[in-house]
Amino acid sequence: MGKFVSKASRGDKRAARTCKGKGGDVIFEGEDDVDSEDSDFEESQSDDGDVDSDDESDIGDFIVEEEELESMRDDIHDMSFEDCLDGSSKRDKNYKNGKVYVEQPYGSIKLEPWLIFTDMEAFLDVLRDYCIQEGFGLSVEKADSRRYTVVCAVEGCDWRIHASKMVDKFSWTIKSLTGEHRQCGRLEVNPIVTTKWLVGKLLPEIEANLDIPVLTLKKMTQQKYRIQVKTRLFYKVKALAKEVINGSFSESYALIPRYAEMIKETNPGSYALITWHSDPGDGFLKGCRPIIGIDGAHLSGFFKGILLSALGIDGNNEIFLLAYGVVDTESWNYFMRNLRALFEREGCSRDDWTFISDH
């Protein structure tokens, strides 16, 4: 065995992770001999049986519980890598047995021994897509930071995949893929479907139309991914997707003031100004009587000054703040000029306003 492999394969605590679903018979065959394990995997047969899920908690993750299996027999044999470790091996030599996974569209994802993934997460992502595509659940036999062995969740099915970390310490590859789903049927409600997975898949659609109805999302999921997901979960999916979308917007907007400063700093002579207001003033024109109360209040804080404000009364007889400004002296001219500009900008041309002031 290669140095790295043998060191890592002994004495490490291993966590076995199991997935919800029926436990499958586990058979660990002789390992990793790719030549003798040409993929005899075939697509599972599918039916349109409508399996119903009881609860949101059915949408689980790969990992539901963890237990340590210290005594687990070390039956991973990384012999094939030893050939690569000839003392002068370069990284590409590690890959001589395999081929790097290239993204395949959902529906035509195929797995085979010696497919190489950039890291464990990439492998798990593809495996998840593949299982959902093929319509079967997983039962985890062995999973830790350097190897991952799962079987089909259906009892008696001999489908099994084993993948592990490569000698470069970050890439992952499928070491063996055996068995086939003979009588597993298609799992319409697949426990490995998570809201996170759905958000990832449906994000482009939600981004294109933030008001997309949840039933449309449900229908798309049924048609494209051939899985059943409870309608109410799509509300959650939509909310999470909006968080992702709006989050990125607000983060971008938050950078604008800094951007303006950078423009001024790096392009001398440039003029950059950021202003904003939280209310377009529209509510006043649509929902308030044509009465404007104006007043000024002296500020007693460190900077002093005068707060000028214009208020209306809305349909509920409540105060509607129309505009306010902080000035050095009571310069109503400046304030009213800007207020008129605001009205003009909003397309308001009426001139029968009633003003109330204490003067």
Residues at the interface with Zn ion (CB under 5 A): 136, 152, 154, 157, 159, 181, 184
- CA 329 to chain CA centroid, Å, is 52
Nearer to Zn ion among residue 153 and residue 202 (C-beta)? 153
Nearest approach in angstroms of CB 163 to Zn ion is 18
Distance CA(343)–CA(351), nearest Å, equals 11
Nearest approach in angstroms of CB 137 to Zn ion is 8
Nearer to Zn ion among residue 112 and residue 168 (C-beta)? 112
Counting Cβ atoms within 10 Å, is residue 24 exposed (0-12), middle (13-18) or buried (19+)? buried
User: What is the DSSP code (8-state) at residue 183?
Assistant: S
Q: What is the largest CA-CA distance in the chain?
A: 97
- Residue written as tokens 């595509």? 133
Say if residues 165 and 188 touch (Cβ distance below 8 Å).
no
Nearest approach in angstroms of CB 169 to Zn ion is 32
Nearer to Zn ion among residue 157 and residue 199 (C-beta)? 157
Distance CA(127)–CA(130), nearest Å, equals 5
Name residues whose C-beta falls within 8 Å of residue 228's C-beta, 6 or more positions apart in sequence.
50, 51, 52, 53, 188, 189, 222
Nearer to Zn ion among residue 153 and residue 233 (C-beta)? 153
User: Phi then psi for 136, rounded to 5 degrees?
Assistant: -135, 155
Q: What residues form DSSP beta bridges with 149?
A: 142, 162
Nearest approach in angstroms of CB 164 to Zn ion is 22
Closest CA to 15 of 121, 147, 172: 147
Strands 65-68 and 15-18: antiparallel
Nearest approach in angstroms of CB 129 to Zn ion is 17
Nearer to Zn ion among residue 154 and residue 199 (C-beta)? 154
Nearest approach in angstroms of CB 131 to Zn ion is 10
Nearest approach in angstroms of CB 92 to Zn ion is 35
Nearer to Zn ion among residue 19 and residue 154 (C-beta)? 154
Closest CA to 17 of 203, 148, 187: 148
Nearest approach in angstroms of CB 138 to Zn ion is 10
Nearer to Zn ion among residue 120 and residue 153 (C-beta)? 153
User: Phi then psi for 270, rounded to 5 degrees?
Assistant: -75, 155
Nearer to Zn ion among residue 181 and residue 226 (C-beta)? 181
Name residues whose C-beta falls within 8 Å of residue 160's C-beta, 6 or more positions apart in sequence.
26, 27, 141, 149, 150, 151, 152, 176, 177, 178, 179
Nearer to Zn ion among residue 114 and residue 159 (C-beta)? 159
Nearest approach in angstroms of CB 151 to Zn ion is 8
